[in-house]
Amino acid sequence: MVPRWPAFLPLLFLVSLLCFGRPCLASSSSDTSHGETATSSGHGESGGHGESGGHGESLNITTLPIVSWKWSHVTVPYFVALWILVCWLCKLVFELNHHLTSVFPESGLLILIGFVLGGIIWGADKAQTFTLTPTNFFFYLLPQIILDAGYFMPNRLFFRNLGTILIYAIIGTCWNAAAVGLSLWGCYEGGAMGDLDIGLLQFLLFGSLLAAVDPVAVIAVFEEVHVNEVLFILVFGESLLNDGVTVVLYNVFDAFVSLGGEKIDAAEIVKGIISFFVVAFGGSLVGVVFAILLSLLTRCTKNIQIIEAGFIFVLGYLSYLTAEMLSLSAILSITFCGVCCQKYVNANMDEKSVITVRYAMKVLANGSETMIFVFLGITAIDKTIWVWNTGFILLSLLFIFIYRFIGVFFLTWILNKYRLVPISIIDQVVMSYGGLRGAVAYGLAAMLDESKIKEKNLMISTTLIVVYFTVILQGITMKPLVQWLKVKRVSSSELKLIEKVNNRAFDHVLAAIEDICGRIGDNWWTRGWKKFEEHWISWLLMKPSARKSQDYIFGIFHKLNLEDAANYVTEGERRGSLAFLRTDDKAGVDFKKKFGSEFAEVMPDIMADTSEAGFGIENVPVTSIIHDSVPSVSLNIYEEDMRNTAQDINAHHLLQQHLYRSRKNHRHRYSRSHFGINESENEVQEIFQRTMRSRLESFKSAKMGVTPAKKITKHPKKVREQREHKHMSNGTAVDKSKTHPYGDEDFEFSEGDSASGVSGGSSFPMRVTYSAGAGIENPAFMPEMDTPPPMRNPPWAPGSDVDATVAPSQRAQRQLPWTPSNLRRLAPLRISDRSTDSFVMADVIPPPPEPEDPAQGDGTHM
Amino acid sequence: MGSTASTLSKIPDVETLMQETGFTPAHMVRLYDRFKALDKERKGHLCPQDFGAIKELAENPIGDRIVGAFFSQGQETLDFHSFVRILAHFRPVDKDRPRDPNVPEPINSRSNKLKFAFQLYDQDKDGKISRAELLQIIWQVLRAMLEMQVTEEQLESIADRTIQEADLDRDEAISFDEFRKSLEKVNIDHKMSIRFLR
């Protein structure tokens, strides 16, 4: 607790500041939350204040005021900002103390600090000036949390378990509402609560607003306990989707209460049921429509990249408001907007924008979550809302707790008959126990109409008690419970390609087995949907360029590569330079990973980073950079001694043209729209990617002078011949890299991007560029690296089996044992060459892979 | 249910088979019907061509690997018992059924499921997934994606990386042990099970 105090002082100061400002707001009634984002009344007031204050001063001045005190002018926005600051500082203070947060969930702590803050305000004002109003909550605090939840939803998991989630969300919630409402009514009739002015319908209304598990509370608590993903998605998905049910139930019973008991007939009840479907599905539909709009929009935001991230927030919010306007379920709408758009938006937008969205989303969601909990606490410190009725409150708590358990266990019992992986008893316990109520329930309770429901304050008090009980007590005990029950935790999510490849293969296996069994099962649907999605939806919503690289496995692969590259650079910085790559056999960096072909994709990042961090390009003359930095990060670590000046000149030219100059130009420029991003950086990246890819290619072949010859001799396929032909005909140093062993269509991988290239050379597939002899113009500067050095030419020319016995260069030999992946660099081309054509021909019936030639195997191990 | 009993009686040795595979009588009947439906010429066994008649299977990028898995090496025919035994790999694991230590591991155990997957990759049956084999399956699996423009190089990179991850003894190939270890965290029971075979 000690570290709390220093940070607590500014907090107190802020609170006192807030209280100080109160007199200006004294005219307002206490139900307006000034601490929050301005409500309509807040706006009006601030406007009024601003005007009157301004006028007053301007009328009475006798001399020119140099500065004037215009507190009333800024009151409302000032309070909003201050409260945001205070709430976030609370979070900061808690997070300083790990012992505290490891025992108590943050949400509970925030509510507790809310009590304290509320107490301070109450002490100063003798009234609760700041409360959480439904308007603020539903319009300004909730949407971003739900959008965040939807946008980061693990889609696959979510849709796999959608059936289960829906059962819990719909039937479970209805059951909760009905059971709690009816039981409370029964107890009331039985005389357990004394004299209250509540009818059956009002009990049901109360039950319905308390029925729903709250997404905010659930996210807050479950994110900290790290239960296994299925359990998490069940609770989390339920909490998101049951909102539709709650809103409908709430509206229906609200209407019924207004209508009065006797006017409710079968027709009204049928209408209620219909309205449920309309509200839920309509809301979801609105969300999907907005997701489509959003995806389409991001297809063409290439030129306004700096704000494209904003569209997600704006359109997401609009989907929320639209659904609200149509009296559909707003939460469902924004959830589905996030869920549906994520894939396409992420693919369409620039990577930087994707990262921007990701962080901005988290800032907003986390920020408003913090505020919600703090204000839930503050709200409680208000004498006027508290009505105590022991029977009512305790029975509500009891019933909510019990019926949640009953509902979950009963539904799971049914579901387990159909689920592939049954939900274990322990998971059921955690699910039941995780039925936290939160701010949504409070917001709904606060929206009740006091003229119709006499005991509104009792309901609010009870709701608050329930919220505190579930969030604080159940939240605190959740972690120990999870540990004690040994609930399966989420396994460390280390990225592994092999798992992904396997999963993909298993999908096909399962689909095939289902076909063989002749039954339409889950995998059949999955596959059908995937096909449809790839055929049509991606076509419609994704940029062509993005579509080509969308595969999930590539995503993982790319991530792994980035990770490697980052490690690689870190290691380089630790050692002072990346020179260790050349000189040190046993570098601490994991060479096994480092030297994989992954560089093809990552290299631009490496280049950028190293050139900035390691070598201070700005101060170093270009020529020296070429001499020092480029080789050190190049893949051709075995070949540095083979460079010659001619290639240096090429590289020089290239670098000057495409990398360094542009960096210099943009480094110090202020631009609102460009944010230090070189407009042509895409092109530069593209150039680098291509460069690195082909450099890698040449690296593979040039490294030992072994493989290429092998390829030629053993697999005189057409492509190979072409390649060879080129080598022969050009015979220049540049030559080798320009021939890409694969067909043109393969090369279009990133053509979409390159189409926008500034420099003409880069917009063509590399091979074309090179063979046109445009080596100098071409930004790719691998020539320098890729020259087949004279000493390695012999193995080429004869094209005989001798190559297998050609000794690699000394360094290569020395390094072999330490860089096993390098060995693979030899094998790949050989084998894949063989299989390339057969693959193309036999999509359906692939030939069995040919066993490795033992002789070649030996060669590679040499 | 009368038809169930009558169909069951037609299946030779049905009791042993059910015990071995853990399928219920309803499953057996259903699979038997399916078997007969696939066996269009009523020859009492299936050949690879019979599987070829399944349209979706022909579209499956690794369909013929799976068909291949049904036929043990050198054999061209598949009787009902083998058919059921292969499919039993995909029966979900039932945890509540107590395991008898004397009985050999059921067909749908984790390691048997893994073995089945492994042999799908290991086409030359040398007990190792070589780089070529892996590359091939990655190719097939990824190529299944429509409009995917995959360069050979990317596939190779992925194959390399995949092998690196799993290859513990650095022999450039994935043995079954390595395969099992690398998939330790994957819920095979979940991933290699089909709901309606439960």
Residue A309 maps to which CATH number?
Answer: 1.20.1530.20
In angstroms and rounded to an integer, the radius of gyration of the C-alpha atoms of chain A is 33
Q: Which domains does chain B have, with CATH numbers?
A: 13-90 (1.10.238.10), 107-186 (1.10.238.10)
Give the pLDDT band of residue A649 (cuts 50, 70, 90).
Answer: low
- CA pair distance A498, B162, nearest whole angstrom: 5
Give domain status of residue A455, yes or no.
yes
What pLDDT, on a 0 to 100 scale, did the predictor assign at position A44? Answer: 36
Higher pLDDT, A263 or A361: A361
Confidence check: pLDDT of A468 > 80: yes
Q: Do A749 and B149 touch (CB under 8 A)?
A: yes
Is A747's Cβ below 8 Å from some Cβ in B?
A: yes
- CA pair distance A231, A470, nearest whole angstrom: 19
- CA pair distance A640, A476, nearest whole angstrom: 61
Which residues in B lie closer than 8 A to residue A828 (C-beta atoms)? 131, 135, 156, 159-160
Give domain status of residue A270, yes or no.
yes
CA distance B71 to chain A (A): 14
Q: What is the dihedral of CA A435, A436, A440, A442, to 10 degrees?
A: 120
Q: Do A508 and B144 touch (CB under 8 A)?
A: yes
CA atoms within 13 A on the CB side of A340: 25
Q: What is the ipTM of this complex?
A: 0.87
Q: Do A512 and B183 touch (CB under 8 A)?
A: no
Give the pLDDT band of residue A580 (cuts 50, 70, 90).
Answer: low
Structure confidence by residue, pLDDT tens digits, A793-823: 444 444 444 344 444 444 443 443 443 444 3
- Of B62, B142, B147, which is closest to A548 when you measure between CB atoms? B147
Q: What are the DSSP calls for A495-507, one per residue?
A: --HHHHHHHHHHH
pTM for this predicted structure: 0.67
Higher pLDDT, A678 or A24: A678
Least reliable range by pLDDT among A504-513, A796-805, B15-24? A796-805
Q: Count Cβ–Cβ pairs < 8 Å, chain A vs chain B.
A: 244
| Chain B (2-21) residues lying within 8 Å, Cβ to Cβ, of chain A | none
Three-state SS letters, chain B: CHHHHHHHHHCCCHHHHHHHHCCCHHHHHHHHHHHHHHCCCCCCCECHHHHHCCHHHHHCCCHHHHHHHHCCCCCCCECHHHHHHHHHCCCCCCCCCCCCCCCCCCCCCHHHHHHHHHHHHCCCCCCEEEHHHHHHHHHHHHHCCCCCCCCHHHHHHHHHHHHHHHCCCCCCEEEHHHHHHHCCCCCHHHHCCCHHHC
Nearest to A568 by CA among A600, A535, A594: A594
- CA pair distance B130, A810, nearest whole angstrom: 28
CA distance B172 to chain A (A): 7
What end-to-end distance do the CA atoms of chain B give, in Å? 19
- CA pair distance A852, A831, nearest whole angstrom: 8
Contacts of A217 (CB under 8 A, 6+ apart): A107, A239, A436, A437, A438, A439, A467, A470, A471, A475
At position A43, the amino acid (one-letter code) is H
Nearest to B154 by CA among A602, A385, A224, A103: A602
Nearest CA in chain B to A418: B195
In angstroms and rounded to an integer, the radius of gyration of the C-alpha atoms of chain B is 19
What pLDDT, on a 0 to 100 scale, did the predictor assign at position A811? Answer: 43
Angle CA A362–A469–A164, to nearest 5: 60
At position A291, the amino acid (one-letter code) is A
Which residues in A lie closer than 8 A to residue B37 (C-beta atoms)? 518
**What is the share, in percent, of chain A residues with pLDDT greater than 90?**
12
Least reliable range by pLDDT among A198-212, A608-622, B101-115, B160-174? A608-622
Nearest to B156 by CA among A274, A746, A173, A479: A746
Confidence check: pLDDT of A711 > 50: no
| Chain B (144-183) residues lying within 8 Å, Cβ to Cβ, of chain A | 144-166, 170, 172, 174, 182-183
Is A661's Cβ below 8 Å from some Cβ in B?
A: no
Give domain status of residue A344, yes or no.
yes
Beta carbons of A256 and A201 less than 8 angstroms apart: yes
Nearest CA in chain A to B122: A849
Give the pLDDT band of residue A832 (cuts 50, 70, 90).
Answer: very low
Interface test with B, best of A156, A228, A502, A601 (most B CBs within 10 A): A502
- Collapsing DSSP states into helix, strand and coil, what is residue A452? coil
Distances (CA, A) of A787 to A370, A781, B52: 60, 11, 50
Is B125's Cβ below 8 Å from some Cβ in A?
A: no
CA distance A126 to chain B (A): 58
Q: Do B163 and A824 touch (CB under 8 A)?
A: yes
Residue A223, number of CB atoms within 10 A of its CB: 15
Burial label for A848, CB within 10 Å (0-12, 13-18, 19+), is middle
What pLDDT, on a 0 to 100 scale, did the predictor assign at position A621? Answer: 37
- CA pair distance A790, A805, nearest whole angstrom: 18
Confidence check: pLDDT of A410 > 90: yes
Interface test with A, best of B110, B161, B172 (most A CBs within 10 A): B161
- CA pair distance A339, A149, nearest whole angstrom: 8
Contacts of B173 (CB under 8 A, 6+ apart): B128, B129, B130, B131, B163, B167
Question: What letter does residue A486 receive in the DSSP assignment?
Answer: T
- CA pair distance A556, A349, nearest whole angstrom: 18
Domain count, chain A: 1
Q: Do A504 and B142 touch (CB under 8 A)?
A: yes
Q: What average pLDDT does the structure give for chain B? A: 75
Owner of token pair 């009344």: A41
Beta carbons of A819 and A591 less than 8 angstroms apart: yes
Is B31's Cβ below 8 Å from some Cβ in A?
A: yes
Nearest to A809 by CA among A790, A781, A828: A790
Confidence check: pLDDT of A582 > 50: yes
Nearest CA in chain B to A861: B171
Confidence check: pLDDT of A585 > 50: no
Q: Do B143 and A843 touch (CB under 8 A)?
A: yes
Is A748's Cβ below 8 Å from some Cβ in B?
A: yes
Structure confidence by residue, pLDDT tens digits, A36-81: 433 333 333 333 333 344 444 455 667 888 888 888 889 889 999 9
Confidence check: pLDDT of A774 > 70: no
Structure confidence by residue, pLDDT tens digits, A324-348: 999 888 989 999 999 999 888 888 8
Task: Locate all alpha helices (DSSP H) within A642-777, ordered by sequence.
Answer: 645-655, 661-667, 681-702, 707-714, 718-730, 735-738, 744-747, 751-754, 766-771
Higher pLDDT, A358 or A261: A358
Residue B148, number of CB atoms within 10 A of its CB: 16
CA distance A196 to chain B (A): 50
At position B67, the amino acid (one-letter code) is V
Q: Do B164 and A509 touch (CB under 8 A)?
A: no
CA distance A426 to chain B (A): 14
- CA pair distance A841, A835, nearest whole angstrom: 10
Beta carbons of A618 and A664 less than 8 angstroms apart: yes
Which residues constitute the domain of residue A199? 124-485
Confidence check: pLDDT of B152 > 60: yes
- Collapsing DSSP states into helix, strand and coil, what is residue A442? helix
CA distance A829 to chain B (A): 8
What pLDDT, on a 0 to 100 scale, did the predictor assign at position B190? Answer: 72
Give domain status of residue A106, yes or no.
no
CA distance B121 to chain A (A): 10
Give the pLDDT band of residue B117 (cuts 50, 70, 90).
Answer: confident
Beta carbons of A164 and A415 less than 8 angstroms apart: yes
Which residues in B lie closer than 8 A to residue A699 (C-beta atoms)? none
Higher pLDDT, A475 or A495: A475
Burial label for A273, CB within 10 Å (0-12, 13-18, 19+), is exposed
- CA pair distance A775, A650, nearest whole angstrom: 8
- CA pair distance A398, A382, nearest whole angstrom: 25
What pLDDT, on a 0 to 100 scale, did the predictor assign at position A647? Answer: 55
Any idea how long chain B is?
A: 198
Q: Do B142 and A419 touch (CB under 8 A)?
A: no
Give the pLDDT band of residue A315 (cuts 50, 70, 90).
Answer: very high
CA distance A230 to chain B (A): 12
Q: Do B123 and A517 touch (CB under 8 A)?
A: no
Q: Phi and psi for B64 in degrees, rounded to 5?
A: -75, -20
Which residues in B lie closer than 8 A to residue A505 (C-beta atoms)? 62, 117, 120-121, 137, 141
Q: What average pLDDT does the structure give for chain A? A: 68
Higher pLDDT, B162 or A732: B162
Nearest CA in chain B to A420: B195
B86-102 mean pLDDT: 67
- CA pair distance A75, B64, nearest whole angstrom: 73
Q: Do A518 and B144 touch (CB under 8 A)?
A: no
Is A697's Cβ below 8 Å from some Cβ in B?
A: yes
- Of B120, B142, B190, which is closest to A553 when you measure between CB atoms? B142
Q: Do B198 and A420 touch (CB under 8 A)?
A: yes
Is A540's Cβ below 8 Å from some Cβ in B?
A: no
Q: Do A497 and B149 touch (CB under 8 A)?
A: no
A267-274 mean pLDDT: 85
